[in-house]
């Protein structure tokens, strides 16, 4: 069940069906990004929109996992798309293909995700966008 929930999280929600967050996370959901915490479905939707805004043709692939242990799930993924501009400091031309990978760990509670930790290779994304 948690593995299927994670596949919806990654392959549907992160691929663009942001409203699905309301179904997949608990009301007291907390997402831990480096340097930032996100609380609840609405803040999660906002961060998803912000993360997708500079890109078009986004695809998200599941590279490893999901690996389930009790109420936790872990996986490795790759985000890919084409830069459409609008990111401060980016010098890459519009249309530049970019991709970066990351790892997720989530804790489930009552069939929904209650907590999320993510680490991603933002350095390779910054290089691809000319932000060095």
pTM across the whole model: 0.89
Where residue 47 falls among pLDDT bands split at 50, 70, 90?
A: very high
Task: Give tens-digit pLDDT for 86-125.
Answer: 788 888 889 999 999 999 999 999 999 999 999 999 888 8
64 closest CA partner among 2, 10, 117, 114: 10
| Total number of residues shown for the chain | 132
Where residue 3 falls among pLDDT bands split at 50, 70, 90?
A: very high
What per-residue confidence (pLDDT) applies to 45? 97
CB 120 within 8 A of CB 100: yes
| Domains of the chain with CATH codes | 2-128 (3.10.450.50)
């Amino acid at each position: 069940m948690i593995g299927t929930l994670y596949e919806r999280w990654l392959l549907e929600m992160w691929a663009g069906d942001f409203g699905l967050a309301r179904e997949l996370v608990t009301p007291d959901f907390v997402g831990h990004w480096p340097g930032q915490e996100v609380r609840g479905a609405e803040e999660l939707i906002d961060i998803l929109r912000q993360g997708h805004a500079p890109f078009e043709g986004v695809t998200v692939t599941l590279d490893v996992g999901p690996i389930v242990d009790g109420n936790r799930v872990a996986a490795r993924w790759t985000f890919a798309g084409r830069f459409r501009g609008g990111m401060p400091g980016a010098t890459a031309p519009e249309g530049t293909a970019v991709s970066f990978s990351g790892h997720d760990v989530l804790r489930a509670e009552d069939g929904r995700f209650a907590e999320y930790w993510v680490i991603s290779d933002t350095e390779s994304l910054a290089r691809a966008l000319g932000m060095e």
